[in-house]
Copies of this chain bind each other. A is one copy, B any other.
Amino acid sequence: MVNQVQQGDGSWQLCKADPSGSSSSGASSRESSRCSTPVLDSDGSHRLRDKMRRRIESGDHWFSLEFFPPRTASGAVNLISRFDRMGAGGPMFIDITWHPAGDPGSDKETSSMMIASTAVNYCGLESILHLTCCNQTKEKITGYLAKAKRLGLKNIMALRGDPVGSDWEEEEGGFNYAVDLVKHIRSEFEEYFDICVAGYPTGHPEAESYQNDLQHLKEKVEAGADFVITQLFFRAESFLKFLDDCRAIGITCPILPGIFPIQGYQSLRQLVKLSKLEVPEEITKVIEPIKDNDAAIRNYGIQQAVEMCRVLLDSGKVPGVHFYTLNREVATMEVLRQLGLWVEDPRRPLPWAVSAHPKRKVEDVRPIFWASRPKSYIYRTQDWDDFPNGRWGNSSSPAFGELNDYYLFYLKSKSSKDALLQMWGEELKNEKSVFEVFTNYITGQANPSGHKVMCLPWNDEPLAPETNLLQDELERVNKRGVLTINSQPSINGKPSTDPIVGWGPAGGYVFQKAYLEFFTSSENVTALLKVLKKYEPRVNYHIVNVHGHNLTNAADMQPNAVTWGIFPGREIVQPTVVDPVSFMFWKDEAFALWIEQWAKLYEDESPSRMIIKYIHDNYFLVNLVDNDFPLENCLWQVIEDMFETLDAPPEPTEE
C-alpha cells in the first residue's frame, strides 16, 4: 500500500500503513531500535480494547473463555494444562472469576490472582481478572489492583459481587455498585487497565426495571468501562434486543454475549439458581426427559449453543462470543469447531511461546537450554526489570532466579508418581536401564512392562515435530548412553511459513545451526574431546559436570546464535542462542532434575536411586553447535567418531 504525505512547510514526515500513525519527530514509544520481534500482530498497541477494535474493523469474529479458580493444587496443575490446550485455538482472551471466599488476591496457587498471573506470564494468554468490590475497603481494592499490575495483568472485569447475607445496605463513600469500582480504577490507575463490565440481557435480578438496569450499564461505560460481557441467556433474541436497547441509549462500546453451553443437568440447575435466570420452556422440555443421560444433554447443549451463536454472529452485530466453560473443554471446543472459530494457527511469531506480560513483549532472545522448560525460564527470569536488548541487559551477568522451580505448581509433572515409575522403571538395574528409558522416549515404543515413555524430567511433552526429523540418529546414540535432552537440525533458509520449522511473518527465511545437548559418561567425554579436535573451529562445545568441571572451546563469553530469521523490511531476528553464561545456570537445573524428578521416586539407598545418583554425580552435560549451517550437520559424525574411538583397541603404550 502506498501512503503519501505532502507537507507544505518543507519539513517531512514518514507515513505508516497503520492508521494510528506515528510521526518520526520527537520521542517515540519504541524503546530500542533493536526490538524487531516479527510478531504476527505487528500493530503497535497490545491493549485488549485496541485488538478488539481492529478485529471489529476487519470483520473477523473471535471467541473468549471464562474459567474459575480451582479448589486444589492438583486442580491448578490441570487447569494450567487446559489453558495451554485451549490457548492453542486462539481465544481473544480468557477471564478468571474472583472468589471472595477463596482468598482470591493471595499468593496461593489456587487464588484468582495467581491463576490469572500464570495464564498471562506462563501460558502467554491475554487475561482478564475479575474483581468484586462489595464489602471491600478502597485500600484493599487498590492493593489488589496494584498487585495485579505488578504481575503483568492488564485487564479487570469490574463487578459488584454478591453481598454477604441479605441485609446489605448502601455504604456512604464505599463501593456499592460496580460503577464505583470502575471509577476507582480510573481514578487510581488512570488508563493502565482495560475495564470490562457485566451486562444483563434480561435485566439484573435486583434491578428495579430493565430500563433502569440499562441506565446502570450506561453509567458504568461512561465511568470508563471499555467493553461489556453479558450474563448468560438462552435465546439469541434476548441478547439482540438487549444490544439494540443499549445502542439506542448511546452505549457504543463492544458488547459480547456470554454463552453457556449446557453441559449437564445439575450444573444447569445450579447456575440458574445462582443467576436467578429462567430456563425457557423449549429447553426444559428437551432436557427433563434426558436428565440422567449426560452425553445426550451435552450433545444437546452443543447443538443449542452452536445454533444460538450462529444467529448472533450472522446478525452482523456481534463481533465475538464469550464462553462460560465451567473449566471444561470438550463442549466449548466442539461448539467452537462447529462455528469455525477454533483455529489452531501453526504460525508462530517466534520459535518459542511469547509471554503476555507487558514487560516481556519486547523479549526476542532466549537461551536454547530451556526450550522444553519455558515456564521454568520465565520463572527464573521474572525479576528482570526490562528487556532493553530483547532480553537481560547484560549477558555476562544475568541474574537468574533461584533454582526451586520444580516445586512450582505450573511446572509439576502432569503424571502421578505411579505413572512416572511405570514409564521410567519400577526398578533400575544399571545405567543401561536408564539408556533404555531415553531410547523408548525417542522411539515412542512401549517399555518391557508395556508402558510408553511420554515424558522425561527435562521434557514434559512428547518429542517436538522438528526433533522427529532426527529420530533415527537420536535412537542410535541414546542406546549407547548419549542421553539427549535437546536438539535441533540445521536449516539453511527455509520459508518462514514452513509448517514444521517456520516462524515469524510470511515472506521470510529461517535458519538454524544444528544443536545437540546430552548427558554422557566421563569415559565418553574423554573420547569426545579427542574427536572434537578434528572439528575445530567448526563445532563449538561446552562440557560440564555437576561440580562445575568445565570444558569449552568458546573463545569468549559471547552467545552463539543458533536460530535466526530474515524477513521483509525488518532487522534480523535471532530468537535462540547458546549462551555460555546461561548454560552454567541451566546446568544446575538440568542436573538437579535427575534427583528431584527421578531419583526421589525410589526409596532412599535403594539400588535404583543409587544408579540415578551415580549418573548425576559422574556424567557430564554436553552441548554441541555445528557452526557450518549450510553443510550437512556434522554432529552425528562427531558422536560416531566418538564411538569409534571408544571401540578402537587401546594403542600400545610405550614406557
Contacts and interface: CB of A to CB of B under 8 A. Distances in A.
Given A33-B389, A548-B12, A569 B507 contact: no
Given A507-B537, A572-B574, A629 B547 contact: no
Contacts of A393: 32-33
Interface residues of A, number: 84
A205 to B, nearest CB: 49
Interface string A197-241: 000000000000000000000000000000000000000000000
Contacts of A10: 547-548
Contact of A557 (B24, B493, B629): B24
Contacts of A556: 16-18, 22, 42, 44
A396 interface: yes
Interface in A548-583: 548-561, 564, 566-572, 574, 577, 579-581
A574 B577 contact: no
A250 interface: no
A564 B508 CA distance: 15
Contacts of A34: 34, 389
Contacts of A2: 529, 551-553
Contacts of A397: 24-28
Contacts of A559: 33, 36, 570-571
A571 B577 contact: yes
A8 B302 CA distance: 65
Contacts of A388: 388
Interface in A515-546: 529, 537-538, 540, 544
Contacts of A24: 396-397, 557, 580-581, 584
Contacts of A579: 33
A5 interface: yes
Contacts of A577: 571
B557 A28 contact: yes
A630 B493 contact: yes
A548 B32 CA distance: 26
Interface in A610-655: 625, 627-630
A389 to B, nearest CB: 5
A17 B538 CA distance: 16
A449 interface: no
Interface string A306-343: 00000000000000000000000000000000000000
Nearest to A625: B569
Contact of A4 (B549, B555, B625): B549
Contact of A31 (B11, B394, B529): B394
Nearest to A22: B557
B493 A550 contact: no
Given A33-B389, A389-B34, A389-B389, A15 B566 contact: no
Contact of A1 (B16, B22, B553): B553
A7 interface: yes
Interface string A393-406: 11111000000000
A561 B570 contact: yes
A13 B584 CA distance: 9
Contact of A555 (B6, B17, B36, B552): B17
A481 B12 CA distance: 25
Nearest to A627: B568
A393 B388 CA distance: 10
Contact of A12 (B11, B550, B574, B628): B550
A24 B400 CA distance: 13
B28 A550 contact: no
A5 B584 CA distance: 13
A83 interface: no
A239 to B, nearest CB: 37
A25 B581 CA distance: 9
Contact of A11 (B6, B44, B548): B548
Interface in A369-406: 388-389, 391-397
A14 interface: yes
A561 B568 CA distance: 9
A572 B581 contact: no
Contacts of A6: 547-549
Given A33-B389, A566-B629, A3 B581 contact: no
Given A33-B395, A396-B24, A564 B572 contact: yes
Contact of A572 (B396, B561, B568, B628): B561
Contact of A566 (B552, B561, B569): B561
A122 to B, nearest CB: 24
A587 B394 CA distance: 36
- Top 6 nearest A-B pairs (CB, nearest first) are A33-B395, A12-B548, A28-B396, A568-B627, A34-B389, A561-B571
Given A31-B394, A389-B389, 11 more contacts: A4-B550, A6-B549, A14-B550, A14-B552, A22-B557, A24-B580, A25-B397, A28-B394, A42-B556, A507-B537, A554-B569
Interface of A: 1-7, 10-18, 22, 24-28, 30-34, 36, 42, 44, 388-389, 391-397, 492-493, 507, 509, 511, 529, 537-538, 540, 544, 547-561, 564, 566-572, 574, 577, 579-581, 584, 587, 625, 627-630
18 contacts: A1-B553, A3-B552, A4-B551, A12-B550, A16-B555, A22-B557, A24-B557, A24-B580, A28-B394, A32-B389, A33-B391, A33-B394, A33-B579, A389-B389, A492-B493, A537-B568, A538-B568, A540-B568
